[in-house]
Structure 1
Amino acid sequence: MFFVRTESFQQFIRLYPIVSIIVAINLVLFILSGFSTYIGSLVVGQNLLIAEGEYWRFITPIFAHGGLLHVLFNSFSLVLFGPALEHMLGKFKFILAYLSMGILANVAFYFLGNDYIQHLGASGAIFGIFGLYAYMIFARKDLIDSQSRQIIIVFIIIGFLTTFRPGINEIAHIFGFISGVALGPILIDRIRQTYY
């Protein structure tokens, strides 16, 4: 089973350092933003500011969150779905994929979203992870067991059912997912092992 976590805290950090580091960045940045509105204002995405040359805002919103439930839900999703991919892809490819999917989701919002809305959250990258699993389910069934396939399909369906409501960046969710599927042939097809 891909998504059952039986490791101790120390084992998890040792086995999945990239997932652990991303979660730590999410939490630290959330705490710092709570203490400093200046830090919070530096990390949110906003198209008008990006257009003025603040290009780091394609990256920083991936690690910034707007509330405790927001950061906990996205971090929990990463802890649940990230380790199997970090193991499969390796540390470098996993972080490259995670950042690429999050950035592509923010680039899509830059071209299609409201210039005046601030956006933040790891959801684009998380939906990118869902997209990688979706590619695996349809193109590389040998890499994922049937029970894990069922779990990820349910989470993808729930994810999209909860996407289209006020306050959710549906553009980032959709294009994060698309970017994950698109990266599938590049990243997943090179994997030769079966199951996790």
Structure 2
Amino acid sequence: MDDGIHDIDFDDDETSVQEKKKGPLSRPPRWRDIHPALQIFLLFVVSTLMYRGYSFGSLFPASGEAVFSGHQYWRILTSLFTHSGMTHLLSNSWLFIIFGWFLRTYFGTIVFPVLSLVLGMAGTWITLLFYDPTVNLVGASGMIHSMIGLWIVLYVRFDSDHTVPMRLFRAVGFSLAMLIPSTVQAEVSYTAHGVGFILGIAGGLLCSPFVKTGMSPEADEGDINDRSETN
């Protein structure tokens, strides 16, 4: 006989909450994915030391005269690694390492270092068009701003733990914090920063439909399944 009293099973509700999948960006990055950024940082150090200490270091910076007139196209790449000094190098490197680590962890080798380096070289090429042909460009800050732009677009695309308005709000706030300098220095190429950031946004928009996050939500913490090579 049914007395109208039924047991309420709370276990299913608790299980469903516990089993709710976290978004792919919610898990911490895996330490070994910092290695590519650290290896490139070592190239920064070596290139900067050679630029400062050896005569052939003069072949590293990029200028419109050397690249466009002299057809010395390797400078588009070597100028990214070369910095004016150790202070310049260290001021760039912490952002480079952090964003390189995150891009490599969550989006794979294609996004970092491959796409990041391509955007960095494209940014240098475009930036040279805005300067006198004799002006030398060195440093990775333009590439770093491309990486920031890439991260922002891919963050908005993949951060399923937050609503789209919240993602956009965070992205805009982060962009303003990264783009607005606290001080203005004459020797800093803010043109390279702006060009790099725009290229990063454009690159992120173009590649986001084809990128799969390398962080598997079902994996153990920090476990990465790098799928980028298949894209």
TM-score normalized by structure 2? 0.69
Q: Which residue pairs with 1:39 in the alignment?
A: 56
1:192 Cα deviation (Å)? Answer: 4.1
CA separation of 1:31 and 1:155: change in aligned 2, threshold 3 A: farther
The one of 87, 105, 110 equivalent to 2:128 is 110
Asked if residue 176 in structure 1 is aligned to residue 193 in structure 2, the reply is no
Distance 1:117 1:173 in 2: 16
Larger CA deviation: 114-123 vs 180-189: 180-189
Contact 1:18 1:91 in 2 (8 A): no
Asked if residue 133 in structure 1 is aligned to residue 151 in structure 2, the reply is yes
Structure 1 residues without counterparts, runs of 5 or longer: none
Correspondence list, 1:1-196, <5 A: 12=31, 14-36=32-54, 38-50=55-67, 51-142=69-160, 150=170, 156-162=175-181, 165-193=185-213
1:144 Cα deviation (Å)? Answer: 8.2
Which residue identity is paired with 2:124? Answer: N
Higher-Rg member (1/2) = 2
Which residue identity is paired with 1:172? Answer: A
Matched pairs, number: 187
Distance 2:212 2:70 in 1: 45
Structure 2 residues without counterparts, runs of 5 or longer: 1-24, 223-231
Which residue identity is paired with 1:166? Answer: A
Larger CA deviation: 72-81 vs 88-97: 88-97
1:6 Cα deviation (Å)? Answer: 8.8
Q: What is the RMSD computed on CA atoms of the aligned residues? A: 3.1
CA separation of 1:158 and 1:164: change in aligned 2, threshold 3 A: farther
Distance 2:65 2:41 in 1: 28
Using the aligned pairs only, state the percent identity: 22
Contact 2:95 2:144 in 1 (8 A): yes
State the Cα deviation string for residues 83-139 of structure 1 (Å, max 9, x = none).
110122322441221111111111111222221211100011100011112213444
TM-score normalized by structure 1? 0.80
